[in-house]
Amino acid sequence: MTLSRRRFLVISAVASALPVAALGQSVHHWRGVALGADASITLAHPDAPRIVAMARAEIARLEDVFSLHTPASALNRLNAAGRLVAPPPELLECLSHCATLHHATNGLFDPTIQPLWALYAHHFAETTNAAPPDATALKSVLKHVGFGKIRLDPNELRLKSGMALSLNGIAQGFIADKVAALLRAQGLTDVLVNTGEFSALGQAPDGQPWQIGLRAGDDLLPERAALRDAALSSSAAQGISFDGEGRVGHILNPKTGLPAPKRWRLVTVTAPQAWLADGLSTAFCLMTPERIAQTLQAFPQARIERLIG
């Protein structure tokens, strides 16, 4: 499988829009790894080391809930056993958001897509054939896909045999929201959190909205998106591909089992929360312009920032 969308985490935060020197604050820099990717935090605050440590701990805590790459994560334990007693509240909250998106997108956003994703990954690991799995294989796996088959209960989550969840289409945005909320609770009013999806509080140090660069494939677009107290997410059907030639994209239709058509090179959504922008940008890769417009009626504060075919 070819990865062409780089995951990273960057947090920039200042206590106000005034220049750091005027505040009498030093700038604290941290670089490391978070969410399995390069990470950095730049913070201007009198208590920056403590706040940075809190942010790092929060990211690690949430990764232990949502990561498919952490063997003991809550999500992996649910997938392995088919049930999870006393699930973490963040997992329940995120699945509640998934239910909202699943309903609004007429089922095109579906976190039970993981068995289908695993089929594609295994198929292209075993063959150089550029064709997707055949109809028989897809039919066999699709019977294990369907958000309505999950038992959602605060005391226990339960999956039917053969089912598994992936929250990759929402978890990065969800984590961005949680980290931004933690920094807000520490008194920071101007924050940009980037976990691959963006959550922006307040404004940049120059007093202007935070400026977010956009890419369509490998092309950096000349314009930028301006964010103030909002979130932004971008998706592309070919952003990650299963085959080495980049022809079979990673966003799969949970109804047909087929990859998203090569209709959109870039779908960028802004919304009040990063989880919402993240989920919508993913689902919109499977939609026509008319269906996107219909879906947005359910979320009047969300909008398309860029749509490039």
Superfamily of domain 79-165+233-308: ApbE-like domains (3.10.520.10)
Which pLDDT belongs to residue 7? Answer: 54
d(CA 54, CA 57): 5
**Could you report the per-residue pLDDT of 65-100, keeping only the tens digit for each?**
999 989 999 999 999 999 999 999 999 999 999 999
* Strand, helix or coil for residue 255: coil
Q: Is the pLDDT of residue 16 over 70?
A: no
Neighbours of 103 (CB within 10 A): 12
Q: Are 251 and 285 in contact (CB under 8 A)?
A: yes
Lowest pLDDT segment from 29-43, 125-139, 159-173: 29-43
- 105 known ligand binder: no
In this structure, which amino acid lies at residue 176? A
Q: Where are the domains of the chain?
A: 2-68+173-227, 79-165+233-308
Please compute the mean of the pLDDT values over residues 261-275 and round it to a whole number.
95
Confidence of residue 162 (pLDDT cuts 50, 70, 90): very high
- 2 known ligand binder: no
Confidence of residue 5 (pLDDT cuts 50, 70, 90): very low
Neighbours of 130 (CB within 10 A): 12
The torsion angle over the Cα atoms of residues 141, 36, 306 and 218, rounded to 10 degrees, is: -100
- 278 known ligand binder: yes
By C-alpha distance, which of 67, 172, 31, 22 is closest to 12?
31
Contacts of 294 (CB under 8 A, 6+ apart): none
Cα 299–Cα 276–Cα 61 angle in degrees, nearest 5 = 155
Confidence of residue 43 (pLDDT cuts 50, 70, 90): confident
Q: Is the pTM of this model over 0.75?
A: yes
